[in-house]
Amino acid sequence: MKKIAVIGSGAVGCYYGGMLARMGQDVHFLMRSDLEAVRANGLTIQTGGERLKIPHVKAHASTKEIGHCDLVIISLKATGNQALEALLPPLIGPDTALLTLQNGLGNEEFLCKRWGAARVMGALCFVCLNRTAPGVIEHFDQGSISIGEFQRPSQARTRSIVEAFKSAGIDANVAENLLTERWRKLLWNIPFNGLSIAAQGATVSDVLADEGLRNLARHLMDEVLDAARRLGHDIRDEFADYQITRSATMGPYKPSSMIDWELGRPVEVEAIWGEPWRQGVAAGAGMGRLETVYRLLQRLTAR
């Protein structure tokens, strides 16, 4: 990669962008609230007892300052997608790839409609992060990323981007079927992000320690599995069981939506719950638990 932009410098953008910058990639961050702090102090990633400092960070106040890039990493909240219509054009040259790291369904479609399917890529981030101060990211657990093309198999650029992430010390791999991977990730996000808010502040270990909520989380996964299969994504029951098992290692982790909700920030209700519910219902799946969580979240997150 010659030149990379990171649009949306929250925990996810700063972590992956910071790791790439640390290993010498030319990474440009669009920043707002953290701009001065990061220009002064760089980025800090606290991970596994280590404290990684990235002292010199290219932080910008506008995308016009950045100019054309080879790769634009989009890590805004999906609720802020409208802002991309103004933010992205200065970054887009003839061969610019747009890689969305956003949660849920509908984000690739948003980019595709405006800038064409050939540019669009998506990635799934399996990582536990919190932004604890301006420019300071706490990395709790995991960190792998699956990167794929939208509506087509992997290309030469897919593999070269995966290699760039790998060179930065990130467990990266190619996702041959991006939408299937999105549904696999929703299998965790729908119950754990959803119940964290619907149960008014339940961490992952709170959900797992409450027998009723733990069973409900697993039953929500069954609804998501059914919907995904009807939509042609072959996900096995064992994968859902594994999601419960791996969650037990997370402890009192707050899903990102729970932190957004606690801080009064927008929650990605449509991308994570609304769009999967609509697609599942349209495919004939029974999605009663998801409907209940979705409708409660709409109300609980309304300003």
Active site (catalytic) residues: 185
Least distance from C-beta 217 to its own copies, angstroms? 9
- Binding-site member from 26, 141, 210, 226 for its own copies (CB under 8 A): 210
> With binding defined as CB under 8 A, does residue 293 bind its own copies?
yes
Q: Which is nearer to its own copies, 107 or 301 (CB)?
A: 301
> With binding defined as CB under 8 A, does residue 212 bind its own copies?
yes
- Binding-site member from 223, 268, 270, 275 for its own copies (CB under 8 A): 223
Instruction: Return all residues near 153 (Cβ < 8 A) that are at least 6 apart.
Output: 176
The sign one gets for the Cα dihedral 31, 123, 79, 297 is: negative
Give the Cα separation of 43 and 57 in Å (integer).
Answer: 7
- Binding-site member from 4, 202, 235, 272 for its own copies (CB under 8 A): 202
Give the Cα separation of 285 and 276 in Å (integer).
Answer: 11
- Which residue matches tokens 């060179």? 167
By the 8 A CB rule, do 206 and 252 touch?
A: yes
Tokens encoding 164: 């760039």
Least distance from C-beta 243 to its own copies, angstroms? 18
Q: Which is nearer to its own copies, 156 or 302 (CB)?
A: 302
> With binding defined as CB under 8 A, does residue 291 bind its own copies?
yes
> With binding defined as CB under 8 A, does residue 47 bind its own copies?
no
Q: What kind and span of H or E run contains 61?
A: none
DSSP SS3 for 74: strand
> With binding defined as CB under 8 A, does residue 215 bind its own copies?
yes
DSSP secondary structure, 231-293, as one string: TT----HHHHHHHHHHHTTS-SPPPHHHHHHHTT----HIIIIIHHHHHHHHTT---HHHHHH
Least distance from C-beta 69 to its own copies, angstroms? 39
Q: Which is nearer to its own copies, 34 or 223 (CB)?
A: 223
Q: Which is nearer to its own copies, 157 or 278 (CB)?
A: 278
Sites of contact with its own copies (CB under 8 A): 195, 198-200, 202, 210, 212-213, 215-216, 219, 223, 286, 288-289, 291-296, 298-300
